Structure 1
């Protein structure tokens, strides 16, 4: 995806002698959410129309499509939240009320960059793993269900109670944590987070 300002926009401002425009984080979030929905729909269409690999059968195709469909629904929900939320940056807004999805009050700090969000999120994920007996992996859906019961903000203005699988993936990606297709002990094959990846993200030596 083309970022803003890109190369051509930078050349334009240089040639015209104008000042670079500052990107609005809320507008970027809307654009990123919309692009993510489009990409997931393309991947879902490709998965549905591509014949399954030999040996995987229809069940393998259905699992892949189901995981993509869940991601698409989560991304669509995030986009709907951004589109339906009242803008808290208008100059004429005087009332102080909750502004979703950021969850902050309508004041001068509402749309500023959030404070470091995920330091406590990693600890929260570690606690979930501990409560489950330190398994090799935890399904993304199960991890989200457990984290939703926590108070406070997980990151990017999202409260723990508002977490989705897509949002959790976005918060954990900068730490090198990404889901993998794992067959869990109960026989479910789900997109899951590995305990080793979590420990690495927390700076814990896994080879000691």
Structure 2
């Protein structure tokens, strides 16, 4: 799967002698979720059309297809949320102050200040991991469900109660945290956040 920037983009930057441009987390989240939707559609098509594997019954194949379909629907919903979230950046916005996404209740004033993810959100994520017994990974959906019970602002003017998987991904991206396809302790394979990445974002070494 192609990632951006890849080695060709890095080579171009070096060749031209320019500095790499800073990513907009909202745009990165859009790209990641769009790629995820495409990947899930391809996996679902393969699962539906491929002959059953040896030892796999119709019930198991149906369950696998259902899981993929649910993941695809969830990813499609995340993409719709990202596409419908207004980005207030205009040509008049300062070039050195990249804008974050603005909710429907915001106006152009939100361009005057970049709303970065807060350490409080990372601490809240750490608390969720601890409550679950510090597993090696937590599904994005499970993490969002737990965070939505908290009061206060998570970041980018979004309350914890308003978090979605797409919004959480956008808030955590600047900290180097992205979801990965991970097999969880309960056997589910889901888009998940790894404890290792969270500890790195918090600046904590895992001595265990």
TM-score range normalised by the length of the shorter chain: 0.5 to 0.7
1:126-172 deviation per Cα after TM superposition (whole angstroms, max 9, x unaligned) = 3224445x275755533321111223226x77653344446656748
Q: In the alignment, does 2:107 pair up with 1:99?
A: no
Distance of 1:63 and 1:111 partners within structure 2: 47
Matched-pair contact (CA < 8 Å) for 2:169–2:178: no
Aligned mate of 1:180, from 182, 198, 204: 182
Task: Identify the range of structure 1 (23-32 vs 117-126) with the bigger mean alpha-carbon deviation.
Answer: 23-32
- Give SS of 2:188's match: strand
Q: 1:80: how far off?
A: 1.6
Larger radius of gyration: 1
Q: 1:199: how far off?
A: 7.7
Matched-pair contact (CA < 8 Å) for 2:178–2:193: no
**TM-score normalised by the chain length of structure 1:** 0.58
Q: In the alignment, does 2:124 pair up with 1:124?
A: yes
Matched-pair contact (CA < 8 Å) for 1:125–1:143: yes
Matched-pair contact (CA < 8 Å) for 2:149–2:160: yes
Larger relative contact order (C-alpha < 8 A, sep ≥ 6)? 2
Residue 39 of structure 1: aligned partner: 39
Distance of 1:44 and 1:191 partners within structure 2: 14
- Give SS of 2:109's match: coil
Q: Structure 2 matches for 1:1-208, cutoff 5 A?
A: 1=2, 3=4, 7=9, 10=12, 25=24, 29-90=29-90, 99-100=102-103, 106-107=108-109, 109=111, 112=114, 114-115=115-116, 117=117, 119-132=119-132, 134=133, 136=135, 140-150=140-150, 151-153=152-154, 159-165=159-165, 168=168, 171=172, 174-175=176-177, 178=180, 180-182=182-184, 184=186, 189-191=187-189, 197=196, 201=200, 202-206=204-208
Distance of 1:28 and 1:135 partners within structure 2: 28
Matched-pair contact (CA < 8 Å) for 1:141–1:165: yes
Distance of 1:67 and 1:118 partners within structure 2: 33
- Give SS of 1:142's match: helix
Long gaps (5+) in structure 1? none
Distance of 1:77 and 1:83 partners within structure 2: 10
**TM-score normalised by the chain length of structure 2:** 0.58
